[in-house]
A and B are shown apart, each in its own frame.
Chain A
């Protein structure tokens, strides 16, 4: 068993999956490896290739969630895809995360709906709440917010509730 950065033992399953990403070299950087959790940073140009690899070779077939984080200091959005496996008993309990950083001024990245159909609603929600644009998605638009929403996407750090006094 290998040691992770925090000093605890990392199980061999996560270690072996993490080493599979080394074939991509610079395109995929493993951010951390923990028990049942693995996070890989990719660029948006390689996102579709690595997602195909995750589906076909690593046997993760269920896109559990798509979330976004706003980093206003670096002016970037980090869109994270979380994958789980529904069939492999060997992958039980494990969640693999692919994180992709896009600049806030141009938050476009390819949609993974053709590879993982379960990413459909999650991508719509992320597009509405944080402003990411998934190219290739058939139906992005007003989904959960009220029809007369005219403000910036509410999950950005710059969002302020209208009519509230802010503490300085």
Chain B
């Protein structure tokens, strides 16, 4: 009931036109972003187009290493929908992916296999290290078999702390990664 009322009032605002005083800061941000987009598109259209395509279709590999993968499953679910960011896990093989999210603990036995999977992905590719165990070894820092940090085998772009991180934090990580890609040069 409340949602319907809010939705109705928002659409009423839109019908009144952009000059109405109620839109305020939202409108100026929208105009600022539109200006940025047009500047980039005119200055370097190939880069802009390539980055636009890469940003909004990040496909992750199904590499569930440890318990953080449950949170990743929650992010892929209907409540914290990851597919609205382009991050969908429905594909054929890892040769079609460009994102690898390392969920959790990586043991010394798993580390060469992780590197093998990372090497098989085609460029460009990005890595998100999710959870305390993949950043520094987490709770198992002193273990004889746990790699203290996955950035010893793969180059990490975004670190997501937490044990496990809330699904909203992982969504924030996707947005950070999208910002990084949008502002990068293509090779």
A residues with CB within 8 A of B: 144-147, 151, 154, 159, 161
Q: Are A154 and B109 in contact (CB under 8 A)?
A: no
Interface SS of chain A: helix, strand, loop or mixed?
loop
B8 CB → nearest A CB, Å: 60
- Give the complex CA separation of A145 and B142 in angstroms: 16
> Which chain B residue has the least Cβ–Cβ distance from A163?
B148
Which residues in B have their C-beta under 8 angstroms from that of A151?
144
B residues with CB within 8 A of A: 107-109, 142, 144-145
Which residues in A have their C-beta under 8 angstroms from that of B109?
144-147
Which residues in A have their C-beta under 8 angstroms from that of B142?
161
Which residues in B have their C-beta under 8 angstroms from that of A147?
109
- Closest 3 interchain pairs by CB? A154-B144, A146-B109, A146-B108
14 contacts between A and B (CB under 8 A): A144-B109, A145-B109, A145-B145, A146-B107, A146-B108, A146-B109, A146-B145, A147-B109, A151-B144, A154-B144, A154-B145, A159-B144, A161-B142, A161-B144
- For B108, B142, B144, B145, the residue with the greatest tally of chain A CB atoms inside 10 Å of its CB is B144
Which residues in B have their C-beta under 8 angstroms from that of A144?
109
A146 CB → nearest B CB, Å: 4
- Give the complex CA separation of A61 and B107 in angstroms: 34
Which residues in B have their C-beta under 8 angstroms from that of A145?
109, 145
- Give the complex CA separation of A122 and B107 in angstroms: 20
A143 CB → nearest B CB, Å: 11
